[in-house]
Structure 1
Amino acid sequence: MATDAFEELVEDFEFLEDWEDRYRHVIDQGKAMDQLTEALRVPATKVDGCASQVWLHADFSGGRLHFDGASDAMIVSGLIAILRALYNGLTADEVLAVDARAEMGRLGLNDHLSAQRSNGLRAMIERIRELAVAQA
């Protein structure tokens, strides 16, 4: 199960044959995100387990997930943008039903991220799932 926004990313990635172009596209996704305010970059929103600093601020207003995030690393900001495309607008139950590893695999990310980045991505996904469990 993927959102329309994520399906668009999958199509973009299929068009980009070279991994370097895909990597740049991930970074561009992060640059296009609105900045997370400093007021939301607090210990409660910080994600542990990431090599870089990462903050995720989530809200289930209206019963659907809306989250924003930030990182001090460009590629990680791009990963946050991809996770936003994957999860934003879903209910808590829908968030829990998403097989994030399989969906990210559709973008080829499982094979091209360093071990540290993969661990950080897993930590971000786990934080999103924890928020959904608390909401369900």
Structure 2
Amino acid sequence: MSAMTPPPPLQEIIDDFQAMQGEEKIQLLLEFSRELPELPAELEEAAMEPVPECQSPLFLAVDASRRDHVVLHFSAPPEAPTTRGFASILHQGLNGLSADEILAVPDDFYLNLGLESIVSPLRLRGMSAMLTRVKRRLQQAT
């Protein structure tokens, strides 16, 4: 895998978005928002890192205790479907991968989703901020 290629689970999501047009992309993003897993009982939002760049409240936690199997947790309110959708894309695309695979994800991969015509640049920057914070946590864990 080259440093500029998203890992296969994330590339599959990108391919799904690229196969759709306009309103279909919004529907897919909403579908992702409904698929964001609940936090495990032992993890509270208060113990998670906030991502203030997101327009809606978003919190994340990165468990890098095993570098070959990183576990990601995201929390966003149900009334923030765009933010939840972005978090779910990152969760489905990166959860369980190795730290090295996640660190190799291009920072601007989200541009390949083709959402810039239907989602504000400010919201897209929120997705970028989520990935940046995940990567920072992984770098701090080494």
Q: TM-score, normalised by structure 2?
A: 0.80
Q: Which runs of 5+ in 1 are unaligned?
A: none
Look up the match of 1:89: 96
| Structure 1 residue 124 displacement after superposition | 0.9
1:115 aligns with 2:118: no
Matches within 5 A, 1:57-68: 57-63=61-67, 64-68=69-73
How many residue pairs are counted as aligned between the two chains? 134
Cα distance in 2, alignment partners of residues 105 and 87 from structure 1: 17
Q: State, as a whole percentage, how many aligned pairs show the same letter.
A: 25
Most deviating of 7-16 and 53-62: 7-16
Change (3 A) 1:117 1:51: same
Q: SS of the counterpart of 2:60?
A: strand
Change (3 A) 1:109 1:132: farther
Q: Which runs of 5+ in 2 are unaligned?
A: none
Q: TM-score, normalised by structure 1?
A: 0.83
Tell me, yes or no, if the aligned pair for 1:67 and 1:88 is still in contact at 8 Å: yes
In structure 2, what residue type is equivalent to 1:2?
A: P
Most deviating of 32-41 and 51-60: 32-41
Change (3 A) 1:115 1:12: closer
Matches within 5 A, 1:1-136: 1-16=5-20, 18-36=21-39, 39-42=43-46, 44-63=48-67, 64-72=69-77, 73-101=80-108, 103-136=109-142
| Structure 1 residue 85 displacement after superposition | 2.9
CA RMSD of aligned residues (A): 2.1
Tell me, yes or no, if the aligned pair for 1:40 and 1:57 is still in contact at 8 Å: no
More helix by share: 1
Query: Which of structures 1 and 2 has the larger relative contact order (alpha carbons within 8 angstroms, sep 6+)?
Result: 2
